[in-house]
């Protein structure tokens, strides 16, 4: 009877939940791990047919495998609300490293270029940041979760396929600030309302000063939408040890 009650409670679960994703696994891998733990705890087996899910679960927005932060996870009827998460505002804290550029624009790639950075000051970056706010056009990086013919661009590039850049997209950035500057590392706070690519912004910022950079770390703080608010700090989110 206890097993039946556990299964019934799980399958009747509905809502949105902030779940902390550590650095390393992809968003899909973290979601799958969470799903399997929920099913195993309830003693429920997953359907073999992909079209028929035992537990309906999904996430709103993707975090890179190199990023730690919060995934908004929808379960049951909550999956219908995930679309609103993609349109809501997002706040990030980004750690960049000056003087080096990688093929992926983050720490997962191979260094492809090195340039001097000693001439760059905090004041230089803060002044340039003003041109990165408001409505701006941004070209998404090839190493991203965007898809072509149902497959991620990053996977196609790693397989050696020829991939053309996606056209520039209009994104809106509410605010930017340098919260810490200890060369070659700098910390950048950013709030946007559309699907901005942070590592592209980081590379463009250093390029304005005849240098280069890549992301060493990303912390996704929260997502906010007019009708739904999901707290996104690590302390408010469900940690992997609690799954």
Q: Just list the catalytic residues.
A: 64
Q: Indicate the SS3 state at residue 207.
A: helix
The number of beta carbons lying within 10 Å of the beta carbon of residue 144 is: 20
DSSP conformational letter for 112: E
Q: Indicate the SS3 state at residue 137.
A: strand
Alpha helices by DSSP H, listed for 113-164, are: 122-129, 153-158
State the number of CA atoms in the 13 A half-sphere of 201 facing the CB: 31
- Which residues 6+ apart lie within 8 Å of 119 measured at CB? 209, 210, 211
What is the spatial distance between Cα 243 and Cα 236, in angstroms, rounded to a whole number?
14
> 40 burial class (0-12, 13-18, 19+ CB within 10 angstroms)?
exposed
| 102 in Cβ contact with 86 (< 8 Å) | no
């Amino acid at each position: 009877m206890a097993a039946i009650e556990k299964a019934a409670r799980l399958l009747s679960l509905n809502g949105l939940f902030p779940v902390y994703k550590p650095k390393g696994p992809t968003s899909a891998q973290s979601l799958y791990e969470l799903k399997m733990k929920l099913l195993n705890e309830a003693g429920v087996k997953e359907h073999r047919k992909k079209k028929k899910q035992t537990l309906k679960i999904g996430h709103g927005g993707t975090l890179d495998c190199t990023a730690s932060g919060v995934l908004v996870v929808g379960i049951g009827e909550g999956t219908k609300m995930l679309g609103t998460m993609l349109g809501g505002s997002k706040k990030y804290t980004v750690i960049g490293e000056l003087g080096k550029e990688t093929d992926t624009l983050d720490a997962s790639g191979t260094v492809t270029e090195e340039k001097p950075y000693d001439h760059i000051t905090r004041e230089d970056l803060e002044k340039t940041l003003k041109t990165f706010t408001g409505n701006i056009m941004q070209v998404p990086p090839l190493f991203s979760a965007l898809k072509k013919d149902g497959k991620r661009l990053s996977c196609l590039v790693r397989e050696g396929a020829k991939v053309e850049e996606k056209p520039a997209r209009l994104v809106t950035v509410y605010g930017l600030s340098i919260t810490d500057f200890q060369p070659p590392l700098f910390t950048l706070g950013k709030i946007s309302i559309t699907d901005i690519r942070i590592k592209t912004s980081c590379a463009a910022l250093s390029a304005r000063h005849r240098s280069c950079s890549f992301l060493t770390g990303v912390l996704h703080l929260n997502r906010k939408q007019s009708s739904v608010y999901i707290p996104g700090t690590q302390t408010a989110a469900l940690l992997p040890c609690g799954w």
